Amino acid sequence: MSGDFKAVCYKCSYVGRAGQATHCPICRFPLIVEAGAPPEVAPMIEHIFDRASVHLGAPPLPGVDDGPRKAVLLMEARRRRIARQRRLETQRKLEAERRRARWTLGAVGVSAGVVAGVVAALLVSGGL
């Protein structure tokens, strides 16, 4: 680049030689290369973007729908579907645990009954 190009930071008004750096050494904002003499005072970036069209509540640009985008809607539907699947899976696991616990209690009860019967038979027969 030739000597008549200047690198200007539109955030903090830094002006330097073009080609030395890509970011402002003061605020790390990207430098813009300007041909010829740089502006007297580089406009601050806040003033560049200080327009009603970028504020919240401003009307959308022509041809732009201000509703949620299709990707957002699909992502929300996917999250709901995954949450529903997880709930169903958790319910299935809990039901399986309950069945297992009932079976275990039943098996323990039957075993205790058999042991009690054997002990009673031995007591009656005088084996103990």
Cα dihedral angle (69, 71, 77, 82), rounded to 10 degrees? Answer: -150
Q: For residues 69-83, give the mean pLDDT.
A: 95
C-alpha 82 chain-centroid distance = 14
Q: Is residue 112 part of a domain?
A: no
* Structure confidence at residue 127 as a pLDDT band (50, 70, 90): low
| Statement to judge: residues 16 and 56 lie in one domain | yes
Residues 53, 73 within the same domain: no
How far apart CA 98 and CA 93 sit, in angstroms, is 9
C-alpha span between 42 and 45 (Å, rounded): 9
Q: Which domain holds residue 13?
A: 1-61
- DSSP code at position 61: P
* pLDDT, tens digit, 9 for 90 and up, residues 82-114: 999 999 999 999 999 999 888 888 888 888 888
The rounded distance, in Å, linking the Cα atoms of 37 and 19 is 16
Whether the pLDDT of residue 79 is over 90: the answer is yes
Q: What percent of the chain has pLDDT above 70?
A: 78
pLDDT of residue 1: 46
